[in-house]
Every structure is written in structure tokens, then in C-alpha cells.
Structure 1
């Protein structure tokens, strides 16, 4: 049985040759030479593999690949790794042209909980912006086009909730509500007078309202789809050529949730952007996304539906930084700014009016 790679000593030409042959990518020839450099992320070690093939190798394959290996000592990282492998396998089997990086090998072990992904390295044609500087408007448009393609494919898909994605039931919903209540209580106590009365009341009122809304909105596939779940702009690969290139989704570990499509948009903009940038781009990008969604065949979802869903999604994401704080795994520099930004979006979009309507 094939096992995930566990250490860099295993990164040999023979290993890569075997993996590429097993997956049907290398019909003839072999990997003649392999070198690598590595860097770490929050949850994984990434190896950039430089590959030299034998002269008779066919078909032509990339000379640079990325191997993603979750940290073995981190339980959350291992779980995310397993989820991401399953999602890559499902998407490549289901979608003819998924907006994700080409995957050459994916292996998981339910016994050890370890996994790895072998992906094409697109650094010659794509880039990620330097944190925390967001990309240009055109790059953002390409990102929402990618989300629209992805969301539209799973919109009313017969396998949604069965083959792919987890549909909430009453027990799962109660667990989410309970976790949010517990996290908010601790968050309020932790911040003390660093949390304004206005924002505390907004959180408390929203959390009193949301359970009934979620019960109506999240327990069926109607007007819901498979979302990325972590769709900030650094989880895209952005094309250097904006005229002909395409944005790709990366880091798919959370791509198992069935939610309103605007959850991804609110995560991208309301949670991540300060008010001045939202004022400049938010509505135009939401409109660009909605038009792209319709162009991919979605019907019965008006601009008014989209805008209303976006406001509800902003309300939902009011608790994302609360959960980030509660996890004790996300740095304060992330959740603190996220809470500031989402609170301003909640106010600017008059989301509090939805609670009392």
C-alpha cells in the first residue's frame, strides 16, 4: 500500500519516478536528477522540487513541482492535510476544468493520519502578493471569476451534500451555535474594556439572531453551494498576465462546507479589507461576481438575493475572528485586525438592521 512521504531523505529520483508512473503521468523514461528547497507555512512544510528528466521521458512534464506535507506533530495540520487530499481527489474526478493547480500525486493514510500532495509549481506564471498588500482590482476580478466558476459548478449539483460537501443537520448546527456562544463569552471576557459596548452588543444580538437564520438557510442545498471556506486573496495564485491568465484556488482543506456563495466573498473582502478599500471595490466586485455566476448558468438568483446574502455572510463572519482567537492557533495580529475590519463592515452594511427586521 502506498504511504505518504514522511521526510526529505525519501525525496529521490527513484521515488518521484515511481509516483509519476503510478499516477499515469510518466509513460516513458525516468527522473534523472532531483533537488529541492523547503519552506514552512502555518500548517505544512513545502518542498520545491527541481526535476531533470531523462532524454527519453514522455510526455513532457514540469521541471518544477511543489510537495506539500502537513506537520506530523500538529493534529489540526494532519486533519487539514487529509481533508485537502480528499478534496483534490474529488474535484479532479468531478470537474472537467477545476480552477485548482494541477495535482500529480495525492496520498493519505487513515492509519497514520499523514498525507502529501504533489502539485505543479506555477511560480513562473503566477504569484502571491506580499502580505498584507492586496492585489490590483483586475486580479481581484479574476479571483471572483474563479469563485463564480467553482460555485456555479456545485450549484444544484446532484452530488452536493452526498458525494461532496457536508450539509448541516440539527446536531451539527447546535454544535456550531454552542461553540460560538462559548467562544464569544471568552472573547468578551478576554478583551474587557478593549471591546466597545457597541461592538459587544452587535455580537450578542447577531448571535441571538443567527441560529434561527442558519436553520432556515443552511440545512438544505437550496441557494447554497460548495465554498472554498478560506478564500482570502493569498489563497489564490494570481496570473502575471492578467489578459490571458487565470486565478487558481489553493489551500483547499476547508472546501467541504455547503454555504451561501457569498460566504467566500465576505471572507475575501469584509473580513480582510479596511473600509477605504471596501468603499472603492466591494460593490463593483460583488456585481462582477454575480454576473459571472449567472454566465456560468446559475438561475433564480437575483442581484438583490446576492446582496442580501452578502450582508448575512458578513454577519456570520463577525464570529470568524472570535473563533480564530478561541482556537489559540491564530496569531493576534490576524484575528485582531480581522475583528476590526469585519466590525466596520457590519456597521457600514447596516447588518444590524437584519437582526431587527
Structure 2
């Protein structure tokens, strides 16, 4: 268990001395930080993200020109929800423990500290500018979709049925029976009234009816025990959590926001991305081909006990994962105009995906 209370855990606490000591501990000795500026970046709902622009006494090519830092949200409700659920602590553990064992591309970490309660943390990452954040509402084209789905192989294949990773306490947190029994369904039910009040107009009647039906079930289909745990899943794998240069995503893509990963079925990530980040017209045309190419790549990486028939069935069932995330957003994060549009888009696209795949058959 981490118990390393950070010296700095809000942007207003940053000093040049602290920044110099942090860079020295990360391998940049004698950085000579004489000043800095900060500005908010991104659209994070559960944490505050800032870009630090250091000023050096003697600039050198090895010194970072800018740094991205994440701190607890300045919204008390969002920060408390994230700390109580362990999301801050899990992201720190990812960079301290897991990143080096994976081939999925992520930023380098300069600092990853968190206190035992998970309420105070500091995460400093390499700035990948001019890479910018993706936009789930806008969606992406077929080539970006393919690149994103295949990038998941670098997360799923190294952790496939790997107890050295899956049995770590902070990984198992989201799947322990005493913690997880119907917890996703409780979250779903808690967020649904606010969703209906704020976002119902964005959905067709049959889509909204589907979401209402799910609230009456014992558990969301994406959480059934028979959707077997096989590997590490990001659980919020979408365009808003990517950084890339639009003109060259193949070389520049990096995956961020490792706050909600856990042991789970890989198709949660695949179905969540395809269903939530592609416009429905494009999804209909390419989703089965994308899933098959992903499955082929997993098999080529050494996964031998997962048939395509099982993969496709899991993909359909996992489409429900996106509806839960839309309701969780309603329940736990600060309301913003873009946030409401995002959660409405997420729920609508996944409801349409579920209906077109016939995945409502999994409701019980």
C-alpha cells in the first residue's frame, strides 16, 4: 500500500524548488529551475490537469520544455468520490508498478505519489505536445478506430490470465465480491434519474426505454460473472483519454487516465471504444471486422484459449459497459455543459449498439 503523502497536491502549491527537486529525482540533475507558469488543460471530470512550463537557468536539450500534472479535482464532490473509490490511488499504482510490464503506449512519469487514503496525489507526466486530446463526441475515422483497437493488445495480451498482475490487491479491488456485488447496478440506478432529467431529449424513445429496462435488472449484463475475468482492462478506453497528433496518430498515440482499470474481460475496452467513439453509421460497417482483427492480433501475441465466437459474444454483452459509465458520470462528477453532452452521446451510442447487436437479450 502506498503511503507517500505528496508535498504538492494542488497547482497553487507548486514552487520552482519543488519542481527542480522532482526533476532531479526523475534523472534530470541540476535542472536549475528559476521559474515556471501553469495553465489548465483537458476536460477531465474527476481530476485537475495542468501544463507546467518551466524556466531554466541554463536550458539543455534533455530538460522537458513542458510537463503535464494531475492533481485531485477542485470540486469537492468529484474529488471525494474519486478518493473513496480508489481511482486516484490506482492511477498512481499504474505508473509505479504496472506500466513497465505492458507494451501499450503511455506517457513517461516523472512523479507518482499518493497518501494512503487516496485523497491527495500528485502525478507528473511527460508532455506530448503538440499531441492533443481526442474528442469522443466528434468521433474518429476508420483508420483511427483500427489503430486504437489494436493498441489494446499491448494491455490485454501481457496480462492475459497473468496472476502476477491480476492478483495484485489494487488490481483486484474492482472485482472483490464483497466490494463489487451489484455495485455497478447501484451506480447505474443512482445516475439514471439525473440522466433522464438532463439528457433524455438526446435519445430516441426505444433507446431511453432500453436504459430504463436495465435499471430493473439484478445486474448489468457487462458485469455478469460469466463474462469471465481474463486480463487487465482500462475500463474507460475512449478518445478523450488519448493524446495524439492528428496528422500522425500511428506514431504519436498515447493512452492516459489510468484511474479505473481493473481485472476484467478485454471486450469491455473493445466494445466501449467501438460503440462509444464511432458514429453509428461507421460502427455498423466496420465493427465486426475490427473485432476479428483484434482477435487475430491477440492470438498472434500468444493467447490460445479464446475463440472468435466467444470473443464476439463477449463483445456484444460488454456493450452494456458504456451505459454504466454514462450513469456514473451523472452520479459522481461535477455537471458541465460538455459533460452532459458527452454522457448523452455515450448512452445514446451504446443503446443503439445494444439494440442493433441484439444484446438486449442479455438483460435478466
Provide the alpha-carbon RMSD of the alignment: 3.5
- Aligned partner of 1:154 in structure 2 is 159
SS at match of 1:159: helix
Aligned pair 1:22/2:31, yes or no?
no
- Aligned partner of 1:38 in structure 2 is 39
Q: Return the match for 2:268 from 263, 272, 275.
A: 263
Aligned pair 1:313/2:318, yes or no?
yes
TM-score if structure 2 supplies the norm length?
0.80
Once the two structures are TM-superposed, the CA of residue 9 in structure 1 deviates from its matched residue by: 5.1
Mapped partners of 1:342, 1:83: distance in 2: 26
Q: Return the match for 2:329 from 324, 339, 343.
A: 324
Mapped partners of 1:22, 1:317: distance in 2: 39
CA contact (8 A) 1:38 1:47 kept: yes
Q: Return the match for 2:73 from 68, 71, 74.
A: 71
Q: Which has the higher helix share?
A: 2
Aligned pair 1:334/2:338, yes or no?
no
- Aligned partner of 1:113 in structure 2 is 119
- Aligned partner of 2:106 in structure 1 is 100
Q: Return the match for 1:288 from 274, 293, 296.
A: 293
TM-score if structure 1 supplies the norm length?
0.82
- Aligned partner of 2:213 in structure 1 is 204
Mapped partners of 2:49, 2:200: distance in 1: 41
Gap runs ≥5 in structure 2: none
CA contact (8 A) 1:106 1:118 kept: yes
User: Taking CA–CA contacts closer than 8 Å with sequence separation of 6 or more, which of the two structures ends up with the larger relative contact order?
Assistant: 2
CA contact (8 A) 1:152 1:296 kept: yes
Gap runs ≥5 in structure 1: none
CA contact (8 A) 1:129 1:234 kept: yes
Within 5 Å, give how 1:82-93 maps onto structure 2: 82-92=89-99
Aligned pair 1:347/2:362, yes or no?
no
Mapped partners of 1:46, 1:37: distance in 2: 10
Mapped partners of 1:266, 1:232: distance in 2: 10
Paired positions, count: 347
| Deviations, residues 331-352 of structure 1 (Å, cap 9, x unaligned) | 4323323222111111111113
Once the two structures are TM-superposed, the CA of residue 188 in structure 1 deviates from its matched residue by: 9.3
Pair 192,153 (structure 1): closer, same or farther in 2 beyond 3 Å: closer
Mapped partners of 2:71, 2:242: distance in 1: 19
Once the two structures are TM-superposed, the CA of residue 227 in structure 1 deviates from its matched residue by: 0.8
Pair 30,258 (structure 1): closer, same or farther in 2 beyond 3 Å: same
Q: Which structure's CA Rg is the greater one? A: 1
